[in-house]
């Protein structure tokens, strides 16, 4: 009987999720059209060395530099690379949450970000 109880605790414990994935529900009425400058910040490791092609893109508008979360939008990284240091009009959602993943059990940077859904030229 004791072994059966221990077995059940193990089975129940293994089936319990450690965290839940937060799905953000976006209301289409909250989409904004913004005129923003595309900027790039290279990744610098702890030793102070810049790692090529490992940086992040941001949209600069309203006196804030918004991280671009490509996995949340409809625009590709290559589309944004072509617009570096240019001011263009975008349709975006402003959100706050995990930057690097949607899984709360994985380490990630956290903060405000935009998901870009259209580039208007």
**Each residue's pLDDT tens digit, 82-106:** 999 999 999 999 999 999 888 889 9
C-alpha span between 114 and 57 (Å, rounded): 11
Residue whose pair of structure tokens reads 């995990």 in the numeric block: 98
For the whole prediction, is pTM greater than 0.85?
A: no
Count of C-beta atoms within a 10 Å radius of residue 58: 20
Q: Where are the domains of the chain?
A: 21-120
Give the tens place of pLDDT for each residue, 22-51.
445 566 678 999 999 999 999 898 899 999
């Amino acid at each position: 009987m004791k072994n059966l109880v221990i077995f059940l605790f193990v089975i129940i414990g293994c089936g319990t999720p450690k965290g839940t994935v937060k799905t953000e529900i976006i209301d289409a009425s909250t989409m904004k059209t913004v005129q923003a400058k595309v900027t790039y910040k290279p990744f610098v490791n702890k030793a102070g060395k810049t790692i090529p092609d490992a940086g992040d893109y941001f949209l600069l508008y309203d006196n804030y530099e918004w991280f671009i979360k490509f996995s949340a939008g409809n625009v590709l990284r290559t589309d944004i690379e072509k617009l570096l240091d240019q001011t263009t009009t975008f349709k975006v959602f402003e959100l706050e949450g995990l930057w690097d993943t949607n899984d709360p059990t994985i380490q990630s940077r956290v903060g405000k970000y935009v998901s870009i859904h259209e580039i208007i030229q």
